[in-house]
Structure 1
Amino acid sequence: MNRVAVVILNWNGCSFLEQFLPSVVENTPTDIADVIVADNGSTDNSLAYLKDRFPSIKTICFDKNYGFTGGYNRAIETLTHEYTILLNSDVETPKGWLEPLYEQMEKNPHVGACMPKMLAYADKHSFEYAGASGGFLDRYGYPFCRGRILSTTEIDSEQYNDPIPVFWASGACLMVRTSLYKKLGGLDSDFFAHMEEIDFCWRLQHAGYKVMVYPQSHVFHVGGGTLPNNNPHKMYLNFRNSLLMLVKNLPAKTLLTTLFVRMVLDGAAGVAFLIQGKWGFFVAVLKAHRDFYRMLSKFLAKRKEVGKSKPSGFYKKSIVFSHLVKGKKTYSLLDPSKFTA
Structure 2
Amino acid sequence: MTCAIVILNWNGRGLLQHFLPSVVAHTTEAQVYVVDNASTDDSVAFLVENFPTVSVIQNSANLGYAGGYNSALQYISADVYCLLNSDVRVTEGWLRPILPLFENPEVAVVQPKIKDEKCPAYFEYAGAAGGYIDKYGFPYCRGRVFDTIEEDKGQYNSPSPCSIFWASGACFFVRAEVFRELGGFDEDFFAHQEEIDLCWRVHHKGKQVLCCPESEVYHVGGATLTAANPRKTYLNFRNSLFMLLKNLPDERLYSTLFVRMVLDGVAGVRFLLQGKPRLLWAVVKAHFGFYGSFFKFKKKRPTTFFADYYQTKSVVWRHFVANK
Matched residues, number: 322
For residue 155 of structure 2, what is the aligned residue in structure 1? 159
1:296 maps onto 2:284 in alignment: no
- The 4+ residue runs of structure 1 with deviation greater than 3 A are 309-312
CA separation in 1, counterparts of 2:10 and 2:215? 26
Distance 1:37-1:194 versus aligned 2 partners, 3 A rule: same
For residue 33 of structure 1, what is the aligned residue in structure 2? 30
Q: Secondary structure at the match of 1:225?
A: coil
CA-to-partner distance for each residue in 1:66-114, whole Å, 9 max, x for gaps?
00000000111112201000000000001011111112222x2211000
For residue 339 of structure 1, what is the aligned residue in structure 2? none
Which of 90, 94, 110 does residue 93 from structure 1 map onto? 90
CA separation in 2, counterparts of 1:41 and 1:273? 34
For residue 337 of structure 1, what is the aligned residue in structure 2? none
Q: How much has 1:275 moved relative to structure 2? A: 3.0
Q: Secondary structure at the match of 2:110?
A: strand
CA separation in 2, counterparts of 1:115 and 1:126? 17
CA separation in 2, counterparts of 1:197 and 1:327? 28
- Counterpart AA for 1:84: Y
CA-atom RMSD, angstroms? 1.1
CA separation in 2, counterparts of 1:294 and 1:201? 25
Q: How much has 1:310 moved relative to structure 2? A: 4.3
CA separation in 2, counterparts of 1:306 and 1:241? 21
For residue 338 of structure 1, what is the aligned residue in structure 2? none
Q: Secondary structure at the match of 1:212?
A: strand
CA separation in 1, counterparts of 2:272 and 2:16? 38
For residue 192 of structure 2, what is the aligned residue in structure 1? 194
Give matches, 1:1-341, under 5 Å.
3-29=2-28, 32-106=29-103, 108-162=104-158, 163-307=161-305, 309-311=306-308, 314-328=310-324
Q: Secondary structure at the match of 1:35?
A: strand
CA separation in 1, counterparts of 2:5 and 2:107? 18
Q: How much has 1:326 moved relative to structure 2? A: 1.3
CA separation in 2, counterparts of 1:231 and 1:306? 36
Q: Secondary structure at the match of 1:99?
A: coil
Q: How much has 1:213 moved relative to structure 2? A: 0.2
- Counterpart AA for 1:173: C
Q: Secondary structure at the match of 2:77?
A: coil
- Counterpart AA for 1:120: D
Unaligned runs of 5+ in 2: none
CA-to-partner distance for each residue in 1:123-173, whole Å, 9 max, x for gaps?
110000000000000000000000001110000001101221100000000
- Counterpart AA for 2:241: L
Identity in percent: 52
CA separation in 2, counterparts of 1:286 and 1:103? 45
CA separation in 2, counterparts of 1:255 and 1:316? 17
- Counterpart AA for 1:115: Q
Residues 248 and 307, structure 2, Cα contact 8 Å, conserved in 1:
no
Unaligned runs of 5+ in 1: 329-341
Residues 200 and 247, structure 2, Cα contact 8 Å, conserved in 1:
yes
Distance 1:81-1:167 versus aligned 2 partners, 3 A rule: same
Q: How much has 1:277 moved relative to structure 2? A: 2.7
Q: Secondary structure at the match of 2:293?
A: helix
Q: How much has 1:316 moved relative to structure 2? A: 3.9
- Counterpart AA for 1:184: L
